[in-house]
Structure 1
Amino acid sequence: MEWNKKLQNIIDYVENHLQRKEEPVSNDEIAKMAGCSFGFFQKVFSYMNGISFAEYVRSRKLTLAGYDLKSTDLRIIDISYKYGYNSPTSFTKAFQQFHGVSPKEAREKDIELAVMPKMQIEDKQKYSWKLERKPSLHLIGKTTKISCVNNEHFSKIPEFWSDCQKNGLYANLISLDRGNPKGMFGLFGYYDENSNEIEYSIMVISDADLPDGFTKIELPEATWAIFDCIGMIPLSIHKGWKYLHEEWLIKYPFKHAPCPEVEWYSDGNSYDANYLSQIWIPIIEED
């Protein structure tokens, strides 16, 4: 499930607990829904929404407390406990900071209170993406050096794929593929700043003996930001990288894990308008 859907489910969970169940929000339950540690979820939430998760929940509590003061006969002490405050004093202080008036003034006077509306996550992104923890991957295939001078790699990498299809290496890799689902990997390895060259590999998941001329790469267990690119190759994958560099990497400045960036190509017709390829960015999951 992509992040936007996960975040909306978590926001709905928060509202259900604050308004219906009147129970504390469980950090463990949120971590389970997010599929990552609670600390890492908080970081993603802040990146995406410009407000911390704790601040959002606190603001929603105080918004709802304001509604209760205006529309019910609940005592201020009962409202303070309802929204998780240990004492009326701490509740009054938080209420004053958020609304600009005390709970007593809010009830007795015709005062307009502050409101933090329930957040609605909008899917403004052109590319759906998700964070996924994957086990280590044992890959075998062919590695070459590609020049990046004047962005030559944009044309040289497709040429490398074409050469592998012509010389039979592509068919050999298909026969060795043990992935589930099956698919080809394109790996961006070591970049040499002096020569402006990058190591690029075409590989599959396999436990077979290493054929002559092949190399092997062991990708460690890692968390990946995975982006779906829909459309014929190589145009769709080029557009995906453009989106990443111009928008996503700026909006979500996750730390890059010490692992190659990966392209994944599904087992299908790469010229089909609905063909699926993916870009995997290895990230460091921090609390």
Structure 2
Amino acid sequence: MLERLNEALEHIEAHLDEQLDLAEAARIAATSEHHFRRMFSALAGMPLSEYVRRRRLTRAGAEVLGGTRTLLDIAVRHGYGSGEAFARAFRAMHGVGPGEARRDGAVLRSQQRISFRLIVEGSSDMRYRIAQRDEFFIVGKKARVPLVHEGMNPAIVEHVQGIGADELRRIAALSDQEPAGIIAATDDLDESRAEGTTLDYHHGVAASAAGPDDLDSLRVPAGTWAVFESSGPMPQSIQYLWRDVFTQWFPSNPYRSRPGPELLSTRLSEDGEHADAELWIPVERAEG
């Protein structure tokens, strides 16, 4: 898997000066474009689009300092429609505009090429099972919130606190599917999974039918799910589980993620500091 990912990155590197075909890069990695973007983000710690942008601006920086092309030629060569757009992007990465850099021989930043190597991790096992599910619904209350990688998410806390105990009991009574009880469902995430991008957060239950009109209902098509178990401090153990699924489990198993909501069922200790959890990720068998 890592070898194929590195071959895909070689393809991207060879075509930085062109309109990139990320579907072809995903084909080289023997996966879907959706999963390729998510795998890259989880492994590299940045969105694929951001990496490509920074690699292009690294090359552009070398050409600016080289002085053999006009700044407009360099801008067009690296995909910018105007000198102004290029100058803004250049300054955002390098801290100076291209004209200043050329005049003063400024110190620029370089985004190094990324490659993935096998390191000794995964000495502890991950508990998971594969589940086949018919169509069901997530019924509850929905909010659009920013993605937070570590620590509590204030927007989610505010949303949940605003539902009210009586409303939560009414929603909980609609649960008739796994995972049982109140769950957290995240949907419509940006493929980059970058901090600060937004997603739909559903606080509700899994049910066999859509709920009443005053509740939000998300239809979830039939499909395959990988279900992971976690136990540890809250919220770190759950956030680390999400990370480990994409950086360790997927590269080690013949599955890839598919579009769909990700479901989290959590049982908190009395003091709220420890959680036993199940994380449901929509998956499909990988090719080859």
Higher helix share: 1
TM normalised by structure 1 equals 0.46
Whose radius of gyration is greater, 1 or 2? 1
